[in-house]
């Protein structure tokens, strides 16, 4: 995992150096700034060495091409075999991008399987692309007649640009061919086809999920797992524990006595993981809040609330590993949020809403996970957002994701059960009551909302809890204090968008 800067038609090494140093946290293992003689570009890269740690330095400069990549290409071994090992000069997974490009196939970028953002330049051309879900960030701005690309918004702070834009997920920009969308989210299925075998469906889902976890654990360093004790992170940890070459390390945070700490401790004991936990306090939450908001690059209330426990989990994990698995994406794939219950009798609308929310993750949860973990030089991996798993999950009827259940049933979480088929697929991995436990939001289960409430009262001297408007004002004030041009950051930051698919009235 890394961070990079690319200046195209801008001969300014000092600017590139200044921008990349604002993102050194993304890659503390090596920092390089390179201006090739034959290409009108300056590239800078901060590296967190995960694959090919000994000889995978970037930028990768070979012949008339130069490349910077942020992320991981999980099918790089297969691509090496296809492209020919003799073409490669490093063990880095990122080098596959360069050789795929040189094959000149029409849809070469679609061969990349993983989470990534990259910029590739030749003497007369520049290409930039981003992974299907936008797990890895990429921003671009015009500076005079040139272009500036960077992995985080903070790289542009204090730089004279008119507007910063995010390259959309699944999009490629080519200075010769323009913009094109190379990936489109498959539309979710609503009703089951006649004769569908539910058991065969959830058994296949289990295999696809196991394959995704195995793929996203590929690394030359040890990979751990966040563990909140909820369904999603517990499933990932359970599968990873079976596949890990050594005893899996798991990490949990929360207020002392919080539901997440208690549940995670139980799951870790059941799985036999090497478990680490940190009980944070309201005072600690107050202390880290400016740091979290600066790195989050957003003052969105809900993002900040979930970013605080993510920060503590990332800081804890980084003491032991360089990469962790997370459960992000399961709620969007399998109808895990409480608001989804309103769609119980409207499978078409539910399927459409899940498809919509998957397409907006880059602006919300994925921004939080990337920024807050990378602030601690930790790589977060999201197996639920594997392309093959997304394709399969989207083919599963919405009626098998959110299911009306009998409250008397031991497999019921209430009048309706969210993520029903995911629970069925993984029922043997965890204790029965944990598999069918009701979902709690990360910020609620960890106690972060309570901690932040107390922290904000202490920070402001308020005698009563702050309402949402006052809470948001504190977060925005902290963000404004962190940047020389805060409006530019605020305007470009991801935001929760209230454009959910409406539920039709019968």
Convert the pLDDT of each residue in 322-366 to its tens digit: 999 999 999 999 999 999 999 999 999 999 999 999 999 998 999
Q: Do 68 and 48 touch, CB atoms closer than 8 A? A: no
- In this prediction, residues 11-20 reach a mean pLDDT of 97
Report d(CA 88, CA 80) in Å as an integer: 8
Regarding predicted confidence, which is higher, 259 or 14? 14
Catalytic choice (1, 2, 49, 60): 2
- Length of the chain in residues, anyone? 506
Residue 443 has pLDDT above 70, yes or no: no
Report d(CA 157, CA 155) in Å as an integer: 6
pLDDT at 494: 75
Rg of the chain (C-alpha set)? 23
Q: Do 333 and 358 touch, CB atoms closer than 8 A? A: yes
pLDDT at 437: 75
Report d(CA 58, CA 43) in Å as an integer: 9
pLDDT at 411: 60
Q: What is the DSSP letter of 502?
A: P
pLDDT at 439: 67
2 is catalytic: yes
Residue 297 has pLDDT above 80, yes or no: yes
Binding-site annotation: residue ranges for L-glutamine: 93
Residue 484 has pLDDT above 60, yes or no: yes
Enumerate domains of the chain plus CATH numbers.
Answer: 2-181 (3.60.20.10), 207-388+440-492 (3.40.50.620)
pLDDT at 238: 98
Hey, which bits of 358-492 come out as E strands?
Answer: 379-381, 403-404, 416-417
Q: What is the DSSP letter of 167?
A: P
Q: What is the DSSP letter of 298?
A: -
Q: Do 173 and 404 touch, CB atoms closer than 8 A? A: no
pLDDT grade, residue 57 (50/70/90)? confident
pLDDT at 499: 77
- In this prediction, residues 430-444 reach a mean pLDDT of 77
Least confident of 30-44, 76-90, 264-278, 435-449: 435-449
Q: Do 475 and 301 touch, CB atoms closer than 8 A? A: yes
- In this prediction, residues 126-151 reach a mean pLDDT of 97
Q: Is 9 left (phi over 0), alpha (psi -120 to 50) or beta?
A: left
Report d(CA 164, CA 493) in Å as an integer: 10
Give Cα separations from 265 to 291, 431, 451 (angstroms): 28, 13, 20
Of the candidates 40, 187, 174, 41, the residue with the CA atom closest to the CA atom of residue 108: 174
Report d(CA 391, CA 113) in Å as an integer: 13
Question: Read out DSSP for 299-356?
Answer: --HHHHHHHHHHHHHHHHHHTT-SEEE--TTHHHHHT-SGGGGGGTT-HHHHHHHHHH
pLDDT at 505: 47
Q: Do 190 and 398 touch, CB atoms closer than 8 A? A: yes
pLDDT at 357: 95
- In this prediction, residues 53-77 reach a mean pLDDT of 91
Binding-site annotation: residue ranges for ATP: 253
Give Cα separations from 205 to 213, 333, 394 (angstroms): 12, 12, 11
Q: Is 104 exposed, middle or buried (0-12, 13-18, 19+ CB in 10 A)?
A: exposed
- In this prediction, residues 380-384 reach a mean pLDDT of 98
For the chain, the straight-line distance linking the first and the last C-alpha, in angstroms and rounded, comes to: 49
Give Cα separations from 215 to 201, 313, 381, 406, 474 (angstroms): 21, 23, 10, 37, 41
Q: What is the DSSP letter of 39?
A: S
Residue 221 has pLDDT above 60, yes or no: yes
Residue 201 has pLDDT above 90, yes or no: yes
How many C-beta atoms lie closer than 10 Å to residue 441's C-beta?
A: 16
Report d(CA 168, CA 180) in Å as an integer: 10
Q: What are phi and psi of 249, to 5 degrees?
A: -95, 130
Residue 77 has pLDDT above 50, yes or no: yes
pLDDT grade, residue 264 (50/70/90)? very high
Q: Do 248 and 273 touch, CB atoms closer than 8 A? A: yes
- In this prediction, residues 259-284 reach a mean pLDDT of 96
pLDDT at 335: 97
pLDDT at 53: 72
Looking at every residue in the chain, the average pLDDT score rounds to 93
Regarding predicted confidence, which is higher, 386 or 501? 386
The pLDDT > 90 percentage for the chain reads 86
pLDDT at 502: 82
- In this prediction, residues 42-50 reach a mean pLDDT of 94
Binding-site annotation: residue ranges: 93, 253
Q: Do 339 and 416 touch, CB atoms closer than 8 A? A: no
């Amino acid at each position: 995992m890394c961070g990079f800067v690319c200046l195209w038609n801008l001969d300014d090494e000092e600017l590139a150096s200044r921008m990349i140093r604002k993102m050194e946290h993304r890659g503390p293992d090596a920092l390089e700034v390179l201006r090739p003689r034959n290409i009108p570009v300056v590239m800078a890269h901060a590296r967190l060495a995960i694959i090919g740690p000994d000889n995978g330095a970037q930028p990768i400069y070979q012949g008339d091409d130069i490349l910077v990549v942020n992320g991981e290409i999980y099918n790089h071994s297969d691509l090496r075999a296809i492209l020919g090992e003799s073409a490669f000069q490093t063990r880095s997974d990122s080098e596959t991008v360069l050789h795929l490009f040189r094959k000149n196939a029409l849809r070469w970028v679609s061969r990349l399987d993983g989470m990534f953002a990259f910029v590739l330049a030749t003497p007369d051309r520049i290409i930039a692309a981003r992974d299907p879900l936008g797990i890895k960030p990429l921003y671009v701005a015009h500076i005079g007649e040139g272009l500036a690309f960077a992995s985080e918004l903070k790289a542009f702070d204090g730089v004279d640009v008119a507007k910063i834009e995010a390259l959309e997920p699944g999009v490629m920009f080519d200075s010769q061919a323009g913009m094109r969308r190379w990936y489109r989210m498959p539309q979710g299925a609503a009703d089951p086809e006649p004769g569908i075998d539910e058991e065969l469906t959830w058994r296949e889902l289990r295999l696809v999920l196991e394959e995704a976890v195995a793929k996203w654990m590929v690394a030359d360093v040890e990979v751990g797992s966040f563990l909140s004790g909820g369904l999603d992170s517990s499933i990932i940890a359970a599968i990873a524990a079976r596949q890990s070459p050594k005893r899996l390390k798991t990490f949990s945070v929360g207020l002392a006595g919080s539901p997440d700490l208690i549940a995670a401790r139980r799951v870790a004991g059941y799985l036999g993981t090497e478990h680490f936990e940190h009980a944070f306090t309201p005072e600690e939450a107050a202390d880290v809040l400016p740091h979290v908001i600066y790195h989050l690059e957003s003052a969105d209330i809900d993002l900040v609330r979930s970013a605080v426990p993510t920060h503590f989990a990332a800081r804890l994990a980084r003491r032991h590993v360089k990469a962790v698995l997370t459960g992000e994406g399961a709620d969007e794939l399998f109808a895990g949020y409480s608001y989804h219950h309103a769609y119980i009798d409207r499978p078409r609308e539910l399927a459409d809403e899940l498809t919509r929310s998957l397409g907006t993750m880059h602006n919300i949860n994925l921004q939080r996970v990337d920024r807050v973990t990378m602030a601690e030089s930790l790589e977060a991996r999201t197996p639920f957002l594997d392309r093959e798993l997304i394709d399969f999950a989207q083919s599963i009827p919405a009626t098998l994701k959110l299911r009306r259940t009998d409250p008397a049933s031991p497999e019921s979480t209430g009048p309706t059960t969210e993520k029903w088929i995911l629970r069925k697929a993984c029922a043997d991995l965890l204790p029965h009551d944990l598999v069918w436990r009701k979902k709690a939001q990360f910020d609620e289960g960890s106690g972060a909302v309570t901690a932040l409430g107390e922290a904000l009262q202490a920070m402001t001297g308020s005698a009563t809890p702050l309402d949402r408007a006052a809470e948001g004002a504190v977060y925005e004030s902290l963000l404004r204090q962190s940047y020389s041009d805060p409006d530019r950051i605020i305007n470009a930051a991801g935001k929760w968008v209230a454009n959910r698919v409406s539920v039709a009235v019968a």
